[in-house]
Amino acid sequence: LYAKMEDSIRREMLAIFKLNGYQLKPSVSLNTCQHLIWPTIRLLNHELFTIDEPSVFNAKKYQLRTVESLCGFQGSLKSTVIVGMMSQLKHHTFHLEDLTGDIEMNLTETNFQPGLYVENMIVMVEGFVSDSILHATTIGFPPIESAEQSLNHLDNMDLFGGQKEIKELNLNELSQLEETFDAMFIFLSDIFLDSPKVRKALNCLFDGFSENDPSQLLFFVFSGEFLSEYYGIQQASVLQDGFKALADIVVNYPNLVKRAQFIFIPSSADAVFTDTIPRQPLLPSVVAPFKSKVQNCTLATNPCRIRYLSHRIVVFREDIVSRICRNSFYMPNEMENIPEHKH
């Protein structure tokens, strides 16, 4: 993301860091910058944190310190937190990296706040420094910031991307346009196109929406899996037949064919070139029977971004909790509460 930013945005962000006393080291990797830029900006604007030393005027605040400022430091970090990315720069040895450098960590006496922790995650650390090693006493997550707060801090800077003519409009203008157009997004997942029961349910769904206001814009966002089981070498062929059956259902509703947009997002079990993230769209040859009859069809990646006027939507079809658990180096004691972790 940082590498793809416009030069003007990148310069403005670097100016923010320098204004707050941050000096980016040339040795800091691009990957570290990409992970740390936004959390750092959020904390610099948060009421609980300051870059100044606590005083009688800000006694209830925590001081944000950089890794660079810990060089040669010995002792406890009172009312101080260090924000950085936890990574294993050496085998079985965690380091805390920020925009100014890195420091080795000792986690033997660490109290982890509730959550799932994986490598390369952004954390806040409290503790003390001894022999150039950061002994973490408490590790937690940075506070969450709403999208509205982020946009206000960045002066409504557009970081989502999209068409140029939309980007040139501000949020107020986009909100006014939304009052002119009536639109609805319908999100569905596990659309088993090889199941007669599912196809019957889709027929009922389309029948209901076909009776809506003809001027209403409809967006059907279909996420995989698109087959109820694995068919081996016949997977692509069966999936192609499924999209043909879906097209036969949709063409029965001419209003939907004209005014509805269909977006297909693959899962790991669908016919794609690779299972790496972001996953590539469904093969055009697989969806060809549908696209030949319904022109308003988009084959999206997984994850993908959808922008409708002032609304920004990210769709990611993945069992994220399961993936995080497999790669977590710290698991909470109460396993039944894992799905409740929101970070």
**Secondary structure E strands in 77-168:** 80-90, 93-98, 101-106, 111-112, 117-118, 122-130, 133-140
Higher pLDDT, 133 or 175: 133
Which pLDDT value is given to residue 222? 94
The per-residue pLDDT of the chain, averaged, comes to 78
Mean pLDDT of 63-88: 79
Which pLDDT value is given to residue 50? 67
Domains in the chain, please, with CATH? 1-52+59-140 (2.40.50.140), 161-321 (3.60.21.60)
String of b and e for 73-84 (b: at least 16 CB within 10 Å)? Answer: eeeebeebbbbb
Which whole-number Å values give the CA distances from 60 to 20, 50, 81, in the listed order? 20, 10, 13
Which pLDDT value is given to residue 161? 63
- Confidence band, pLDDT 50/70/90 cuts, at residue 6: very low
pTM: predicted TM-score of the whole model, two decimal places: 0.73
- Confidence band, pLDDT 50/70/90 cuts, at residue 56: very low
Higher pLDDT, 93 or 164: 93
**What is the per-residue pLDDT across 250-259, written as a single tens digit (0 to 9) for each?**
999 998 998 8
Which pLDDT value is given to residue 8? 47
**What is the per-residue pLDDT across 260-297, written as a single tens digit (0 to 9) for each?**
999 999 987 775 566 678 888 998 999 999 999 998 99
Report how far residue 95's alpha carbon sits from residue 101's, in angstroms, rounded to the nearest whole number: 10
**What is the dihedral sign for C-alpha 22, 25, 29, 30?**
positive
Question: Is the pLDDT at 45 greater than 60, yes or no?
Answer: yes
Across 187-191, 197-201, 278-282, least confident range: 278-282
